[in-house]
Structure 1
Amino acid sequence: MTDKSIDNAIADPKVYARPEEFHALFSRLRKEEPVRWTEPEGYRPFWTVSKHADIMEVERQNDKFLNDPRLTLQTIQTEEEIKKFTGGNSKLIRSLVDMDNPDHRNYRGLTQAWFMPPNLKAISARVDALAEKYIDRLEARGGECDFVADVAVWYPLRVIMTVLGVPEEDEPIMLKLTQELFGATDPDMKRPDANETVNTVTDFFNYFTAMTEDRRKNPKDDVASIIANATIDGQPIGHFEAMGYYIIVATAGHDTTSSTAAGGLLALMQNPDEFAKLRSDPDKYLNGAIDEMIRWTTPVKHFFRTAAVDYELRGQKIKAGDNLLMCYWSANRDEEAFDDPFAFRIERSPNKHLAFGYGAHLCLGQHLAKMEIRALYRELLARLEHIELAGDPAFVEASFVSGLKRLPVRYAMKRKAA
């Protein structure tokens, strides 16, 4: 396959908003050219890695394949704008996902305990109460709403902002900035000004700089206080790294979960037999359904790695310094990794999806994400009489982190138990 249009499609944000087109393209790549040298117009070249086994091979060798310096797919123009703004640095943010060891291990260790199951038990009642609140909001909409805009984006946002320590009145700011950051290539979500990515990150920095000053004077029992007062080897962490830490928690900590919650509901509506099965016995099927929702939606579509050494991957000669685009959404439809991968099955077992990554960079918030989705669906399933599409769904035009941006639904709710 040498067609330039294939390279352009791999990088095209619009393709990621058309799931059938995306999956047709990557099914062909997995079959014909699973490790493809890719030179899209307007982008620096890279290897496209589309198969499950190959991504695992790369991810497990984090000494040979590095997160730094290239992490996500950006146009050359955007990269140049960032370098101009930073004085030569190719990154606006340096967060956990940008780091290699020993920094990654040290910085991850600062908050890891917060996101592990023993600590999450302490906030489970709060998460359950929030799930009830947002299903109450669904009921109050009177039988028709946009599930994304009215429920899915707000519920996980409130959860992670509670953990981080952002007050509820600032949530609209956090949502707006997150959507501008991840939806910078979507005409409905991008910031209208020039240098939109730079300006969005600047707004984040300004907000979290003020929060840092506050938490140093008045520390609380929240993640913001940990970040603000963090030290490694006896030295305070850098301002740039602290800002990156806040931003990754504040953005990835809710956007990916909302994409799974909404995309999972769409998948259930499109697969009524699976929906009926789940409703018949939520206690039995919900955990499996959540994993299948996560595999199905795969909110983080890709990350890059850079080869630190020459390496051969599936017969292709990777040179030190080459970049590799790891396509998780493709891996999660790999015919060699999943039986009937284009079927949505809530009983799929095993379900070794790569939506949380693999290896050292396995998603820090995976347990919290599952807990949130479980609480929301437990409440929804208990109170839902009927639900159906009330219009066409629409997806975000973005190649990095994306999911539904509209999900119009019509529904009937049972009377809430007193």
Structure 2
Amino acid sequence: MRLSTPTGDEAVDLDAVDLFDAATYSDGDPHVVWHAMRERAPVHRQVLPDGRGFVSVTRHADVSAVLRDHTRFTSKRGTLLSILGGVDPAANKMMAASDPPVHTDMREPMAKALSFAALRSRHPSVLGVVRRMIAPLAGDEPWDVAQAGAGFPMEFTGALMGLPEEDWPELARLTTMAVAPEDPSFGAEAGHGSLSAAHHELFEYFGEQVQGRGERDDLIGFLKAMDLGGRGMRADELVYNCYSLLLGANVTTPHAVAATVLAFTEHPDEYARLTGDRDRTNLAVEEGLRWSSPANHFMRHAVGDTELSGQPIRAGEAVVAWLGSANRDERVFADPYRFDVARTPNRHVAFGFGPHYCIGAPLARIALRLLFGELVRLVERFELAGPVAHLRSNFVAGIRSMPVRAVLRPGAAAELEGGSDVVPAPSR
């Protein structure tokens, strides 16, 4: 998705806006639309040709309210536009598609297993993944950061879940297909059927994973041993939650990487402000998350009649919270269209907000901090080496392809080619 800077003078016909169409994000300019909506129609209704409809909210306060309050806005009827008008078979079976107390019973033990403290011992292995990923920067050929990033989270999430390494490339492809079924990179598969095909293959795969192999010392084993109010997870609950965990990992991290590197090419003065200081790098990672907002939206349904920004919301209406818009809200962020690696405070909602705040956020932050810590240490500047191709998806603000060249710092090429045994202290 293009990360443009609206002037406010653009002519936007809000009656003609189509935020459902995946091409809006690959070929259009949603930031111009969202800017107009925040100013003129912060609560906006769209009706599709088939009669389905949804309400869009674009201001930070409204997005936060929708995501925070399950008593007003439920997750049980589907959380993505792809299921608009349908029935979510994962309701009360998958953590992301449930409300308290079911959601709380699942989330609390999983959050402990995926906390910064629990993942501390994995820093060296994630750093090894980072160094293997960026090693091609020492070569003469352009490095496609988007394609490299597509497999990045599988390298550590796949290991954490105990999934066979030979399966990782196909799992990365299937999860991308599940969130961007219309993207032309899937060729003849692209279209409505690819979503069903991806779901079928992923559910079948995890069905085999949770049924076999006996005792497991990995995240799937942890899920199988969880106590949900005196019972264990059923097989269908295990499958849905394994799917959700892997999907979440493969959605946020790769596209935050590519969009942040793109921002560094477009704002070299901001990249030059990074000196290798860990605190500065951590702030830059948060700005990269705000800037990229990889998870484009989350959907809820109104439990009863309510209102947002003074506008009525009817019971049962689908309400779509646009995270990318909230993260550019002038009411919350000073100069929101400026990429500022030292931005503080930074109240972004890239990982969501409230009880459904991304459970994998600690792992994503660990990976991103280690990756950009290494890039800042080794790379003097980045340069685009070809066109940027955006992912066709209304859920993921992603980049499909982005070749870059890196101008390396003195001695960096030898280190990239030879590797290094130095492991930095864990960061928080």
TM-score, L = length of structure 1 = 0.90
Is 1:17 the equivalent of 2:13? no
Equivalent residue in structure 1 for 2:239, among 243, 247, 265: 243
SS at match of 1:306: strand
Conserved? CA contact 1:55–1:326, under 8 Å:
yes
Shift of 1:387: 2.3
Number of the residue aligned with 1:182:
179
Q: Could you tell me how far 1:143 is from its partner in structure 2? A: 3.8
User: Is the CA contact (8 Å cut-off) linking 2:14 and 2:37 kept in structure 1?
Assistant: no
Deviations 1:22-56 (A, max 9, x none): 11111000000101122133461111100001111
**Which of 72, 87, 109 is matched with 2:80 structurally?**
72
Q: Is 1:112 matched up with 2:111?
A: yes
Of 136, 140, 143, which residue of structure 2 is paired with 1:142? 140
Q: Equivalents in 2 of 1:385, 1:354: separation in Å?
A: 30
Structure 2 residue aligned with 1:29: 37
* Structure 1 Cα separation of the partners of residues 293 and 328 of structure 2: 10
Q: Which runs of 5+ in 1 are unaligned?
A: 81-88
Q: What residue number does 2:203 align with?
A: 205
| Unmatched runs of 5 consecutive residues or more in structure 2 | 1-11, 421-428
| TM-fit CA distance, 1:18 | 4.3
Amino acid in the other structure paired with 1:29:
M
Query: Separation in 1 of the partners of 2:331 and 2:345?
Result: 13
Per-residue CA deviation, residues 193-251 of structure 1 (Å, 9 max, x unaligned), is: 87322221111122111111224x1x232101122343422223222221111111112
> 1:289 is matched with which residue?
284
The number of aligned residues is 400
Change (3 A) 1:193 1:346: closer
Q: Distance in 2 between matches of 1:146 and 1:42?
A: 39
2:46–2:54 Cα contact (<8 Å) kept? yes
SS at match of 2:238: helix
1:59 has 2:67 as partner: yes
* Farther off after superposition, 281-290 or 315-324: 281-290
Matched residue of 1:232: which SS? coil
Bigger mean CA deviation after superposition, 190-199 or 57-66: 190-199
**Once the two structures are superposed, what CA deviation does each residue of 1:177-199 show, in whole Å capped at 9, x if it has no partner?**
11110111212237358732222
In the TM superposition, what are the counterparts of 1:9-408 in structure 2 within 5 Å? Answer: 9-18=18-27, 21-42=29-50, 44-74=52-82, 89-91=87-89, 94-139=93-138, 141-149=139-147, 151-189=148-186, 191-192=189-190, 195-215=193-213, 217=214, 219-278=215-274, 280-408=275-403
Answer yes or no: is the 8 Å Cα contact 1:389–1:410 preserved in 2: yes
Please report the RMSD computed on the Cα atoms of aligned residues, expressed in angstroms. Answer: 2.1
CA 1:187/1:42 → structure 2, altered by over 3 Å: closer, same or farther?
A: farther
Cα pair distance change 1:105/1:15, threshold 3 Å: same
Deviation of the 1:111 alpha carbon = 1.7
**What's the offset of the Cα at 1:124?**
1.1
Matches of 1:242 and 1:125, distance apart in 2: 29
Q: 1:45 to 1:244 in 2, by over 3 A?
A: same
The superposition leaves residues 235-269 of structure 1 with CA deviations (integer Å, 9 ceiling, x where unpaired) of 23222221111111112113310110111100111
Query: Measured at CA, do residues 43 and 388 of structure 1 come closer, stay the same or move farther in structure 2, by a change above 3 Å?
Result: farther
Q: Distance in 2 between the 1:125 and 1:262 partners?
A: 23
Structure 2 distance, partners of 1:194, 1:11, is 14
TM-score by length of 2: 0.88
Q: Could you tell me which residue of structure 1 aligns to residue 9 of structure 2?
A: none
SS in 2 for 1:309: coil
Q: Contact (CA 8 Å) 1:183, 1:402: kept in 2 or not?
A: no
Q: Summarize deviations over 1:357-411 as a string: whole Å, max 9, x none.
A: 1111111011111110111111222222442001111111111123111111122
- By how many angstroms is 1:284 displaced? 4.3
SS at match of 2:63: helix
Secondary structure at the residue paired with 2:16? helix
Secondary structure of the structure 2 residue equivalent to 1:246: helix
Query: 1:2 deviation in Å?
Result: 7.6
**1:415 equivalent in alignment to 2:424:** no
* Separation in 1, partners of 2:216, 2:384: 43
Identity %: 28
1:77-104: CA deviation from partner (whole Å, max 9, x where unpaired): xx67xxxxxxxx4436852211111111
Q: Identify the structure with the greater helix proportion.
A: 1
Q: Which amino acid aligns with 1:387?
A: F
Partner in structure 2 of residue 86 of structure 1 = none
Q: Which amino acid counterpart does residue 31 of structure 1 have in structure 2? A: E
Aligned-residue offset at 1:5: 1.4
User: Conserved in 2, the CA contact under 8 Å of 1:183 and 1:189?
Assistant: no
Cα 1:43/1:368, change in 2 over 3 Å: farther
Question: Do the aligned residues in 1 keep the contact of 2:391 with 2:398 (CA within 8 Å)?
Answer: yes
